[in-house]
Structure 1
Amino acid sequence: MDYETASERTNSIRKFYKSIFIFALFAVLIIPDDIFGEKIIHLSLFDRYTILAIWAFIILVKAAKLFLFDSEWENNMIEKELRKDKRTIKY
C-alpha cells in the first residue's frame, strides 16, 4: 500500500467517524425529547425516527464499504482471479 492510498483510506475513516459522531449527536438530541416528553414513541412515514433510521442505514452501508469491501479486498480479489486465469490458460 503506497502513501497516497493509505492517506485516502485514513481520510475516509476520519470522515466515517465524523459522520457517526454527528449522527450520535443528533440522535441524543432528538430521541430523549420524544421519550421523556410523551413517554411513547409514535411512528409515521417521515418523522424523526424514520429519518434517523435511514441515516443509520446509510452509515451502515458506508461502514460495510469502508471496512468490509475496501480497496485492499478488491485488490486481493483481482489478484486471485488473475492467478486462477493463469492456471486455466494452457499454451
Structure 2
Amino acid sequence: MRQRLTTVLGGLAMAGTLVLTGPLSAQAATGDLIINNEHHQNPSGCYPTPGQASIQNHTDAPVTLYLDSQCSGPSAGTVSPGGKATLSPVFSVSIS
C-alpha cells in the first residue's frame, strides 16, 4: 500500500511540474532579417526564395539555407548572426 501511494504521489508531482512549466514554444529570433531586400522583424519560420537569396542576418540566430522551397531536406549552409551572403541556388531559408 505504501509503495502504491508513493507511486501515485510521484505521478501527481510530475503532472504538476508539466502543468507549471507548460508546453515548450518556439521563440522568434530578435532583430532584422533581410532576404532579397525584404525586411522581417523578429523573424521565425520558413521563408521561400526565388532560387537566389541575398541575405543580411541582423538577428541573434543563424539562418539555415535549403535547396527546396519548404525548408526541408539537407541544409545548403548557414548565415551566422551579423553575417551576409548572396547565394544561388537557394529556394528557402529558415530561422528560429
TM-score scaled to structure 1, two decimals? 0.27
Q: More strand per residue: 1 or 2? A: 2
TM-score scaled to structure 2, two decimals? 0.26
Q: More helix per residue: 1 or 2? A: 1
